Amino acid sequence: MWIHGDLDARNLLVLGGRISAVIDFGGLGVGDPACDAMAAWKVLDAGARATFRRARAVDDATWARGRGWALAQAVSALSYYPPETNPALVAQARRWPAEVSGA
């Protein structure tokens, strides 16, 4: 399966409140579909997350791995980037663990 590999708000273009494009395909490759399912926690609130899962028919195992990927990316981002060097990413990454724990 082809995956984006870095699907979060920084790589989504929105027009009129809807996603209109996905950019930055530097991480594009063949991999686990859970890598893209992690966007459910990195980008969406709980209600939209449920809609996303139903629309994509994500099975339990893939859903759990996606949740784990989101937490792993939060830990990586917060341990690597100080707020002064990448404030937008740090602000987003601070929110991801709360989304994962409340999901």
Q: Count other Cβ atoms within 10 Å, centred on residue 73.
A: 20
Structural domains in the chain (count): 1
Instruction: Provide the domain limits for residue 73.
Output: 2-102
pLDDT string in tens for the chain (103-residue length): 777 777 777 788 889 988 888 888 877 777 788 888 888 999 899 999 999 999 999 999 999 999 999 999 999 999 999 999 999 999 999 999 999 998 5
Sign of CA pseudo-dihedral 91, 85, 67, 47: positive
